Amino acid sequence: MSPRREDGPLSLLSGTEEARYRVAPLREMLGAAFGQIGDGPITVARAPGRVNLIGEHTDYNDGFVLPVAMSQAVYIAAQPRSDRQVRLRAQNLGKSSSFSLDAVERSDDAPWSNYPRGVARELQAMGHPLRGCEAVIWSDVPIAAGVSSSAAIELACALAMTNLTGVWVPLLDLALASQRAENQFVGVSCGIMDQFASAFGRAEHALRIDCRSLERHHFPLPAGCAVVVCDTRKPRELAQSAYNERRAQCEAGARAMGAAALRDADLDLLETHRSDLDPVILRRCRHVVTENARVLAATEALEQSDLSTFGRLMNESHRSLRDDYEVSCAELDAMVEAAWEADGCCGARLTGAGFGGCAVALVAAERLEAFVDQVSRVYEQRTGRVGHLYPTQAADGAVVITDPE
Ligand code: GLA
């Protein structure tokens, strides 16, 4: 199978170009969805998806993660209304949904709207007055495909909704409000990685987040290598209950070792408590402890432009997720193994929660096309599924795009 081309060119639009290319079509979509709109300024916000290079299932253990914000993003264009209604159009889905800011309820009919609804509720609970609006949401982040389109929708909506009131709210607050919306309103008990990556990513850099202190550092990605998202197209089944089970196992492990969180444990402490720990919990803890160490080693490797060490750590991360944390699946293993076998692959591993979804590979840029062709073909031969492999670039985090009109 040849690579899918609808993902477009690799280039990332700069701020000014972005304003020129994105705002006019979004303005048209807004007009088409809600009828006549005035010539007044509209608010356009953009928030990227994320792909995590290393540091998986560590965020909710107060540990370290190293995602990049992707060049694929969610855009929202909004214009104010004089009442308290929020009218939304999800352009990619061809669906609409409305709610009142005075009574924000969860919607079973339009589950996609629970992200904006949850964000609106959180922002108001924080004391930020919002105004009614009509808004179009459009995305080139693949939806429900393991690259955090949900965090991107949350951040884009949070930025647009606060911008419409003319009040500047720090991105940190918007990212935390988005996570709370997902935890408490949507009902997904995720960690902080996805919202932080979407908020604080930087072009050409990976973002290391200390999920305890929330301290952030950017590390330049080495030139000459491409980040390739390898979507298995295997739906993430039972992911939520298995995710919650892993979280509970980590908490039980930390408790048994007298640690506040697994962030505070190391292999020696694990060894000391070997006989107190259920063998499954021991393996879960071993993954988290070794994964935290791998993130720190990986950022050192980035600082030294040592791609081969970085790649080896990615591969070790996959094995640990597969054997100790048990969140891989046949499709993810097939994808990662096909990547490992391909020329020019520095490293590959599953990314995100696992149980289906995506892998990520770092690939020598000059081998990119051949890599995508070969891995797509081998993956299909071994699994009977057609995957979706596409390059992404590390991009800037969420922004409001100034309307050039
Ligand atoms: C999901 C969650 C994140 C993180 C990853 C696993 O993407 O949303 O917070 O826990 O899984 O690393």
Predicted confidence (pLDDT) per residue in 339-389, tens digit: 999 999 999 999 999 999 999 999 999 999 999 999 999 999 999 999 999
Ligand 1 atom having least distance to the Cα of 60: 10
Ligand 1 atom having least distance to the Cα of 191: 9
The DSSP 8-state label assigned to residue 223 in this structure reads T
Position 403 confidence tier, pLDDT thresholds 50, 70, 90: low
Q: For residue 62, how far is its CA from the centre of ligand 1 (angstroms)?
A: 12
Q: Using N-to-C axis directions, what is the helix angle for 171-180 and 149-164, rounded to 10°?
A: 120
Whole-prediction pTM: 0.94
CB 280 within 8 A of CB 250: no
Q: 285-343, pLDDT tens digit by residue?
A: 999 999 999 999 999 999 999 999 999 999 999 999 999 999 999 999 999 999 999 99
Would you call 222 helix, strand, or coil by DSSP? Answer: coil
Q: What mean pLDDT is reported for the chain?
A: 93
Predicted local confidence at residue 236, as pLDDT: 82
Predicted local confidence at residue 4, as pLDDT: 25
Which residue's CA is the nearest one to ligand 1's atom 1? 353
Would you call 314 helix, strand, or coil by DSSP? Answer: helix
Predicted local confidence at residue 2, as pLDDT: 29
Average pLDDT value for residue range 259-266: 98
55, 263, 353, 368 from 60: Cα distances, Å: 11, 9, 12, 33
Predicted local confidence at residue 183, as pLDDT: 94
Strand arrangement, sheet containing 345-351: 345-351, 358-364, 225-231, 388-392
Percent pLDDT > 70 in the chain is: 93
Annotated catalytic residues are: 194
Q: Cα separation of 382 and 335, whole Å? A: 9
Q: For residue 375, how far is its CA from the centre of ligand 1 (angstroms)?
A: 25
Ligand 1 atom having least distance to the Cα of 52: 12
Ligand 1 atom having least distance to the Cα of 55: 12
Query: What is the chain's length?
Result: 405
CB of 194 closer than 6 A to ligand 1? yes
CB of 77 closer than 6 A to ligand 1? no
Q: Is the dihedral of CA 192, 194, 199, 203 positive or negative?
A: positive
Q: Cα separation of 193 and 67, whole Å? A: 8
29, 152, 154 from 182: Cα distances, Å: 27, 12, 8
Q: Cα separation of 382 and 47, whole Å? A: 35
Percent pLDDT > 90 in the chain is: 85
Q: Is the pLDDT of residue 5 over 50?
A: no
CB 110 within 8 A of CB 314: no
**Choice among 130-144, 164-178, 229-243, 264-278 with the minimum mean pLDDT:** 229-243
Residue linked to tokens 């063998």: 279
Predicted local confidence at residue 6, as pLDDT: 30
Predicted local confidence at residue 21, as pLDDT: 81
Predicted local confidence at residue 9, as pLDDT: 29
The DSSP 8-state label assigned to residue 260 in this structure reads S
Q: For residue 394, how far is its CA from the centre of ligand 1 (angstroms)?
A: 19
Q: Cα separation of 11 and 391, whole Å? A: 11
Predicted local confidence at residue 3, as pLDDT: 28
CB 96 within 8 A of CB 33: yes
Residue linked to tokens 């390059």: 391
Q: What residues contact residue 251 under an 8 Å CB cut-off, 6+ apart?
A: none
Q: What residues contact residue 255 under an 8 Å CB cut-off, 6+ apart?
A: none
Predicted local confidence at residue 368, as pLDDT: 98
Q: 26-84, pLDDT tens digit by residue?
A: 999 999 999 866 666 789 999 999 999 999 999 999 999 999 999 999 999 999 999 99
Q: 157-200, pLDDT tens digit by residue?
A: 999 999 999 888 999 999 999 999 999 999 889 999 999 999 99
CB of 190 closer than 6 A to ligand 1? yes
Q: 121-170, pLDDT tens digit by residue?
A: 999 999 999 999 999 999 999 988 889 999 999 999 999 999 999 888 99
CB of 145 closer than 6 A to ligand 1? no
Q: Cα separation of 70 and 48, whole Å? A: 6
Q: What residues contact residue 335 under an 8 Å CB cut-off, 6+ apart?
A: 230, 232, 348, 359, 375, 379, 387
Ligand 1 pocket mutation pick from 194, 211, 251, 332 by most atoms within 8 angstroms of CB: 194
